[in-house]
Amino acid sequence: MPNTSRFVSTIVSCEWLHKNRNVEHLIILDTRVKKGGDTVASEDYIANSRYFDIKGKFSDTTDEYPNACPSQEQFELEARKLGINKDTLIVVYDDKGMYWSPRVWWLFKSFGFDNIAVLDGGLPEWKRLKFETVSQFALKTWDIGNFKAEFKSENIRFFHHILDIARDENCLIIDARSEDRFIGKAPEPRVGLRSGTIPNSANLPYTNLLDGYCLKSKDELRIIFDTFEIGDKSLTFSCGSGITACILVLVAEILEYKKLSVYDGSWTEYGTLTI
């Protein structure tokens, strides 16, 4: 979308980004979770990427549960440090294809910023198409941005909300974990966390929405969501710790469902606080 101030889609293709990577006001954020520091020379990045530290600077690290939503003040401060302005266009990607980046997209949306899209297929798709990569993040040459956060509390749900939502016939909770984890056949990866599921919730493994590293076609995604007979129900998405639930909410927005939210603590919190 050259010469525009707003994305018209929640996702963009690698071909689009390759063609428009020099568009004015565009910032590309790498949202992978890195091990051993912020830069590893052997890894590949899309040129001019800035590192979005989802587990550090953009999470409440004082919270008992992983990946907790940061405060409005923290999110605004750290986004400004990345040079993000009110008129910035953001594309987010990760090294898994479609994993961390939807969580970052939803965080920005939840803090009142809509000029953001997820790169469909992420870095794996970018490399499959043989587009150029570099071995380091962009050098910090930008000024502090003027981004302004405005928290939309209806986008993020917490434990006390879930207790009511699970009993409300006008609400539907959809869990993005694998079927085996959902039914308790497979153990949870978090040590000491019991198996189980939130009462009255349904299961839609996030992997069912993917074709390789990319999302399935819109028609295929609609067929999948139609099986839940959603109607006018509000949708709350859960998973293990609030990450892959955001893949589901991304698809729900693509399909133009309304009243969408993510359970921030997801099963890690619910399974810990309940018997």
What pLDDT, in 10s, does the model give residues 161-191? 999 999 999 999 999 999 999 999 999 999 9
Which of 117, 151, 185 represents a domain boundary (last residue)?
A: 151
With a pLDDT cut of 70, the percent of the chain lying above it is: 94
43 with 141, same domain: the answer is yes
pLDDT of residue 257: 97
Count of helices and strands (H, E) across the chain: 9, 12
What are 111-156's pLDDT values in tens digits?
999 999 999 999 999 999 999 999 999 889 999 999 999 999 999 9
Q: Has residue 1 got a pLDDT over 70?
A: no
Q: Does residue 3 lie within any of the structural domains?
A: no
Range(s) of the domain holding residue 260 = 154-273
SS3 23: coil
Q: Within a domain: residue 5?
A: no
Does residue 109 share a domain with residue 33? yes
Global pTM? Answer: 0.94
Q: Are residues 118 and 73 in the same domain?
A: yes
Domain end position, chosen among 116, 151, 186: 151
Largest pairwise CA distance in the chain: 54
pLDDT class of 8 with cuts at 50, 70, 90: low
Same domain, 17 and 145: yes
Same domain? For 132 and 226 the reply is no
Listing DSSP states for 128-175 in one string gives HTT---BSSPPP--PPP--------GGGEE-HHHHHHHTT-TTEEEEE
**Residues 36, 140: one domain?**
yes
Q: How confident is the model at residue 9 (pLDDT cuts 50, 70, 90)?
A: confident
pLDDT in tens, 192-219: 999 999 999 999 999 999 999 999 999 9
Token pair of 196, please? 């189980």
The confidence score (pLDDT) of residue 34 equals 80
Q: Has residue 2 been placed in a domain?
A: no
Give the pLDDT confidence score for residue 41 in this predicted structure.
Answer: 47
Residue 128 lies in a domain: yes
Which CATH number is 205's domain given?
Answer: 3.40.250.10
Section 7-32 average pLDDT: 92
Task: Tell whether 66 and 161 lie within a shared domain.
Answer: no
Structural domain tally of the chain? 2
Helix ranges (H only) for the chain are 14-20, 72-81, 101-110, 122-128, 159-165, 179-182, 218-226, 245-254, 266-273
Predicted confidence at residue 43, as pLDDT, reads 80
Pair (187, 122) in one structural domain? no
Establish if 117 belongs to a structural domain.
Answer: yes
Confidence of residue 6 (pLDDT cuts 50, 70, 90): low
